[in-house]
Amino acid sequence: MRSTLVFIFAGLPLSLLAIARPQRGILLPGQVFGRDVEGPCDVSGITLPENAQSLPPPTEGLQLILIAQGTGTQNYTCADATAKPAALGALATLVNATCEVAQNALGTVNEDSAAIGVHYFVDASTPDFDIIGLGNTELKKVATVSAPSSDDVPFLKLMAQEQGTTGPIREIYRVATRGGVPPADCSEQKPNSIVTVNYTAQYWFYSCVEESV
Binding-site ranges for ligand NAG (CB under 6 A): 33-36, 41, 66, 73, 75, 88-89, 91, 96, 98-99, 116, 121, 131, 133-134, 194, 196, 198
Q: Which is nearer to ligand NAG, 87 or 159 (CB)?
A: 87
Contact of 166 with 140, CB cutoff 8 Å: no
5 DSSP assignment: H
CA neighbours within 13 Å on the CB side: how many for 89? 15
Contact of 95 with 117, CB cutoff 8 Å: no
Q: Which is nearer to ligand NAG, 134 or 201 (CB)?
A: 134
CB of 54 to ligand NAG, least distance (A): 27
CB of 145 to ligand NAG, least distance (A): 24
Q: Which is nearer to ligand NAG, 23 or 212 (CB)?
A: 212
**Burial class, 61, CB count within 10 angstroms (exposed 0-12 / middle 13-18 / buried 19+):** exposed
Contact of 117 with 68, CB cutoff 8 Å: yes
Q: Which is nearer to ligand NAG, 35 or 157 (CB)?
A: 35
Contact of 165 with 135, CB cutoff 8 Å: yes
Q: Which is nearer to ligand NAG, 97 or 175 (CB)?
A: 97
CB of 15 to ligand NAG, least distance (A): 26
Chain centre distance of CA 40: 22
CB of 207 to ligand NAG, least distance (A): 11
CB of 161 to ligand NAG, least distance (A): 18
